[in-house]
Amino acid sequence: MTTKISGIDILEIGAKGKESSSPWSSTMAILRLTTSDGMVGYGEAPTTLMTLPVIESMKEVARFFEGADYLDLNHNLDTFYRNSFYLSRSMEATSALSAFEIASMDLIGKHFGAPVYDLLGGIRRDRIRVYANGWYSDCITEEDFVSRAKEVHRKGFTAVKFDPFGASFDTITPEGLKKAESIVSSLRSEFGDKMDLLIECHGRFSLKAAKEILDVMGRYGVLFVEEPLHPELSHLLAELRRHSSTPVALGERILDKEGFAELVSRNLVDVIQPDITNCLGITGGQAISQISDSFGVPVAFHNAFGPIQTAATLNLDHSIRNFLIQESFEEFWPDWKRKLVKSGYRIEKGHARLEGKPGIGVDVDEKLLDSHIVAGMEPVDKSEPPWVVAGTFSKARKYES
């Protein structure tokens, strides 16, 4: 069996025509590595308003992986690290390299006929608790959120993440904070302790606003508040932590294990959220989880893009010691994205499980993949940022006015 990479396909895929999902969910950057004997490995990179830069960076990485031995993964990663001067500060470069790491791990698992989680030391849990995200499109009022959350609960989910802050940005008015509290209060009253509530801030608030938000959210026993500060204000995390004991989670924009080491060693965060599509893939995610475990900090991997990312991440969830909970958009994806993988993992009754196939564990529908190739920048709606769940920002602005 040859272990040389002979083919590299970098694909932008999406729905042709009008897309009903949130803008960041409308396109995917998929990597396909092929060996000369026909074995295929898949990787994925994030796309949020940077699809074309990431794809161009993937082409740069390809020059170092073409003809390389995929079993020499550490060597291949080190070679690009040595050549990529801005890797540690470039999300485009780390995302591109992460896609190649994931696809290489897929090939390595298939080479040995083993799931990736076995290569990581085997499973510690046979099912993965997930929380629902993406479920609250167009939700504005507390009644909207409660009604939709009931549907989610009926699907078996016992945890939901959501952004109750509407069109607030940087600052939040007393009225905006009261509105957010009413949404959270209504959900807590409806579900009691049957539903964990995870609060999404999307990294968009000042220190003053973040303090106010943590004060309010802490009254309702939330599992955590995610990215309460603008990421460039991370130097203020220590002050925020001194102000409030409400659990804080973050990490989707941190690119390497060193960044996470600083967070956990300085007690700046309660939960870390690495994204393996930008923090150097599966082996990067494993290293980050081990560092965090040594400081008693649990991991809840960020997972907002597609099924290749989900499958790769689930391999880590099965194997790491300090797993907390896993993000899942699957139930709320557009149909084409849900069908991209024919088999490999299931999400039932609020839990995910890999089926134990070699590599990252999925069978990709190549016909669907090829029929959904698109080109160009992902769509954008200037009335609402591309990082929100559709309809929750622009419609909130109209509602509040």
pLDDT value, residue 1: 79
Beta strands 27-35 and 40-45, pairing class: antiparallel
Question: Does position 401 have pLDDT exceeding 70, yes or no?
Answer: no
Question: Does position 384 have pLDDT exceeding 90, yes or no?
Answer: no
pLDDT value, residue 70: 98
pLDDT value, residue 188: 98
User: How much is the pTM?
Assistant: 0.97
- Amino acid at site 225: V
Identify any residues that bridge with 224 across adjacent strands, giving them in sequence order. Answer: 198
Q: What is the per-residue pLDDT across 282-340, written as a single tens digit (0 to 9) for each?
A: 999 999 999 999 999 999 999 999 999 999 999 999 999 999 999 999 999 989 999 99
Task: Report how far residue 229's alpha carbon sits from residue 237's, in angstroms, rounded to the nearest whole number.
Answer: 8
Q: What is the per-residue pLDDT across 113-148, written as a single tens digit (0 to 9) for each?
A: 999 999 999 999 999 999 999 999 999 999 999 999
Q: What is the per-residue pLDDT across 169-191, written as a single tens digit (0 to 9) for each?
A: 999 999 999 999 999 999 999 99
274: tokens are 């690495």
pLDDT value, residue 276: 98
269: tokens are 């965060």
**Whole-Å CA distances, 145 to 109, 136, 162, 173, 194:** 42, 7, 9, 21, 16
Question: Is 368 within 8 Å of 1 (Cβ atoms)?
Answer: no
Question: Does position 196 have pLDDT exceeding 90, yes or no?
Answer: yes
Indicate the pLDDT class of residue 397, thresholds 50, 70 and 90: confident
Of residues 37, 70, 40, 39, the one with CA closest to residue 369: 40
Name the one residue in this structure whose structure tokens are 């920048």.
377
Per CATH, which fold does 5-113 belong to? Enolase-like; domain 1 (3.30.390)
Q: Which long-range contacts (CB under 8 A, 24 or more apart) does 117-121 make?
A: 117/315, 117/316, 117/318, 117/319, 117/354, 120/282, 120/286, 120/315, 120/316, 120/319, 120/320, 121/319
Active site residues: 202, 302
CA atoms within 13 A on the CB side of 349: 1
Domain extents for the chain? Answer: 5-113, 118-360+382-396
Environment class of 325 (CB within 10 Å of its CB; exposed 0-12, middle 13-18, buried 19+): buried
Task: Report how far residue 370's alpha carbon sits from residue 196's, in angstroms, rounded to the nearest whole number.
Answer: 39
Q: What is the per-residue pLDDT across 338-350, written as a single tens digit (0 to 9) for each?
A: 999 999 999 999 9
For 118-360+382-396, the fitting CATH number among 3.90.79.10, 3.20.20.120, 3.30.360.10, 3.10.129.10 is: 3.20.20.120
Residue 88 DSSP SS3: helix
